Amino acid sequence: LIVNFGWLKAPTNRSQLPTVVWPESTSFTATVQLKQGNLQGFTLADEIGAEQGWPKRIQGIDLAIFSAQLAKPLQGFIGYRNEADGIATPHYQSVVMGPDKHYAYAVQWLLIGLACVVIAYFAMRRRGYENKPA
C-alpha cells in the first residue's frame, strides 16, 4: 500500500532532496483516507520519477510506474495521511460539494435558460415586424 504522507519543504537547490526524518521504530500507526479509481494526474515530464533510487522527487503518483520501479505489485488505491506529526505536512482535502453549491448551479442554469427564452422571444417578435408588408 502506498501512503502519501504529504509535503516536505525542499531546499532552494532543486538537485538536493529534503531530509526525511523517520521514526525510530519500524512500524507506526497512521490515520489515512483511502482514494481509489483514476489516480493518475497531469504531469509535465514524460517519465515521472525516472531517476534511480529512493527517495525521489515526483510530480504525481502513477501506480503502474511505481509498481514497475519497485518490481512489486501495488494495490489499486492510495492512503493519504490525515494528521500532522512532524514528518510531513498533510495536504489532501476530501472534495465534497455541499447541497448549497448544487442549488446555486441549478439556479444559474435556470436563469441562463430563461434569458435564452426571453432573447429568442424578442428576436422572433422583431423578425415578425420586419417581414410584414408596409
DSSP structure class, residue 13? S
48 with 106, same domain: the answer is no
Same domain (yes/no): 46, 81: yes
Predicted model pTM: 0.47
Helix then strand then coil, % of the chain, to nearest 5: 30, 10, 60
pLDDT digit string, tens, across residues 8-61: 777 888 788 887 777 777 676 777 777 776 666 666 666 655 667 777 777 777
pLDDT tens column, 98-128: 788 889 999 999 999 999 999 999 998 887 7
Q: How many domains does the chain have?
A: 2
65 and 107 assigned to the same domain? no
**Which pairing describes strands 32-36 and 77-81: parallel, antiparallel, or unpaired?**
antiparallel
pLDDT for res 21: 75
Are 20 and 61 in a shared domain?
Answer: yes
Residue 64 in 3-state DSSP? Answer: helix
Kindly provide the b/e burial profile for residues 56-95, where b requires at least 16 CB atoms within 10 angstroms of the residue's own CB.
Answer: eeeeebbbebbeebeeeeeeeebbbbeeeeebbebeeeee
Residue written as cell 509535465? 44
Full residue range of the structural domain in which residue 9 is found: 1-95
Assess whether 108 and 62 both reside in one domain: no
Angstrom distance (rounded) from CA 129 to CA 2: 70
User: Which contacts qualify for 35-39: CB closer than 8 Å, 24 or more apart?
Assistant: 35/77, 35/78, 35/79, 35/80, 35/92, 36/76, 36/77, 39/63, 39/77, 39/78
| Pair (41, 68) in one structural domain | yes
Task: Based on the fold, state whether residues 122 and 132 are members of the same structural domain.
Answer: yes
3 shares its domain with 33:
yes
Residues 72 and 116 in one domain: no
